[in-house]
Chain A
Amino acid sequence: MAQIQLVVVTPEETALEAAVDFVAVPLEDGELGVLPGRAPMIGRLGYGEMRLRFGSQVDRYFVDGGFVQIADNVVSVLTSRAVPAAKIDREAASNQLSEALALKPNSDELFESRDKLESQARALLRVARG
C-alpha cells in the first residue's frame, strides 16, 4: 500500500521523519486529513493535534503553528515546536491559560497576543487530555 513520507522540522532540529499511512494536521481553520496521493498544497497550521497512523499504531503530537507543504506524497510540517502528546507539560499549559485569562488587554495588539496565548494553551490542554 502506498505510504506518505512525513517530515516534521522545527528551527532546532528535524523532529520526526517517518513513512505513515495517514496523517491529520491541524490547519488554522480546521483539521486536514492526508492520505497517499493528495494533490499538492500549502497550508497554514494552527495550534493543535497532529495524528499519524502507520499500521494499527496511532501517534499524537502537539504542533505549535507553522506551515504544511504537501507534494509528491511528501508531507513537510514546519512548526516552531512538535511535542509528543504524552510529554506535554500540563501544569505549564494551565498556568499559561490562567495567565492569559487574567490579562487585561487595552489595545488591538495586546488583544491579539492574548488570544494567541489562550488558544495555544487550550490546544495544549486538549491534546494532553487526548
Chain B
Amino acid sequence: MAKARALDKRRKSIRNIRKITRTMELIATARFKKAMDRAHAATAYTRRMTQLVADLANSGLEVKHPLLEPRETTDRAVLLVLTANRGLCGGYNSSVLRAGFARYVELQQEIPNLELEISGKRGIAAARFRGYVPSTTYTQFEDRPSFEEVNVLAERYLAEYSSGQLDRLDVAYMQFENVSRQSVVVETLLPLGSLGEEPAEENKSQLQYEFLPSAESILEEVVPTSFKVKLFKCLLDAAVSEQVARMVAMKAATKAAGDRIRQLSMAYNRARQTQITGEIMEIIGGVEALNN
C-alpha cells in the first residue's frame, strides 16, 4: 500500500506545479502582448526619425556631430548589461550574462577604466557571484520601461560623454527579432556609428525642405535624440524578449509536468493492481489451505 500512496502524493504535488506553471505561462503571454504593442508603437517614432535623417542628408548637409565620431583614445567606457529582475525564464538571463561578461573581460584588456552597469536583479546577483563589482545597478526597469525613466539614464550618458568622462558605451541585451527568434547582441551605442539604416533609393523624396532655424541646429538635436531612442529600443527589446523567454520556458514546464503525471499515473495504477492481485492471491491461498 505504501508505494501506491507515495506515488499518488507525488502526482498530486506535480499537478499543483503544473497549475502554477500554466498560470505563469498565461501571465507571461498577456505581458508579452502588452510589451509587444508598446514596442510596436515605438517603431512609428523610429520610422519617422529615420525619414527625417534621410531628408536631412538629402538636402546636402554633411552629417557630422561629436557623438558620431569615434574617439582617438578610449580611456573610460561603460558596459551596460540588461537582464531581468526575475528568473524562471529559461536561458534568457544566462545567455545575456554570458555574452556580457565575455565582452567585459575582453574590454578590460583594452580599456583601463571600464565600468560595469547592470540592470536587473538576476544580473546583479550573477555579477556578485563572479566577483565583478558593478558601478551602478538598476532594478526599476520591469516589463514596461517608460521613456521618461530611460531619458534620465540617456541624459546622464550624454552629459558624461560630452564632458569627456565617458568615451564609449556598450549595451548587452537580448534583441527581439520575432516571436520564435531572439538573439543576444552587444552593441556600441556611443559613439553612434551612423544615424539609422540608409533608406532604399526609391524612398528618397524629392521635396525641397525649408529648415527652421537651420539644418545644423536640427542635426544638433537629432543626434542625441536618436541615441535616446536607440537606448529606449534596447530596453523595450529586452522587456519583450524576457516575456517571450518566460512564456516558452513555462510552456515547456507545463508540458513536462503533464508528461510526468501520465507516467506516475501509469506506475500508480500498476502498483495498485499488483497490490489487489497480491491480496486476492493471499485469500485464495488461505481458502485452499483450509480445504486441505
Contact = CB atoms under 8 A, between A and B. Distances in A.
Q: Do A and B bind each other?
A: yes
Size band of the interface chain A makes with B: 20 to 34
B217 to A, nearest CB: 6
Contact of A32 (B212, B222, B232): B212
Nearest to B229: A11
A41 B211 contact: yes
Contacts of A67: 52, 218, 221-222, 225
A67 B56 CA distance: 12
B38 interface: yes
Contacts, number: 89
B205 interface: yes
B45 interface: yes
A101 interface: no
A45 B169 CA distance: 28
Interface residues of B, number: 36
Given A11-B147, A11-B232, A78 B212 contact: no
B45 A42 contact: no
A41 B212 contact: yes
Nearest to B213: A29
Nearest to A71: B207
A78 B38 contact: no
A39 interface: yes
B162 interface: yes
B269 interface: no
A43 B218 contact: yes
Contact of B213 (A10, A12, A39, A44): A44
A124 interface: no
Given A12-B147, A39-B210, A41-B209, A78 B52 contact: yes
Interface string B33-52: 00000100110110011011
Contacts of A41: 209-212
B142 interface: no
Contact of B147 (A10, A71, A78): A10
* Interface core residue of A12, A28, A65 (most chain B CB under 10 Å): A12
A69 B212 CA distance: 10
Interface in B209-238: 209-213, 215, 217-218, 221-222, 225, 228-229, 232
Contacts of A39: 210
B45 A44 contact: no
A48 to B, nearest CB: 14
B159 A42 contact: no
Interface of A: 9-14, 27-29, 32, 39-44, 65-67, 69, 71, 76, 78, 80-81, 107, 109, 113
20 contacts: A9-B48, A13-B41, A14-B41, A27-B212, A40-B208, A41-B209, A41-B211, A41-B212, A42-B209, A42-B211, A42-B215, A43-B213, A43-B218, A44-B213, A67-B221, A69-B51, A76-B48, A80-B147, A109-B159, A109-B162
Given A13-B38, A13-B44, A67-B52, 9 more contacts: A10-B45, A12-B41, A41-B211, A42-B52, A42-B211, A42-B215, A43-B213, A107-B163, A113-B155
Interface of B: 38, 41-42, 44-45, 48-49, 51-52, 55-56, 146-148, 151, 155, 159, 162-163, 205, 207-213, 215, 217-218, 221-222, 225, 228-229, 232
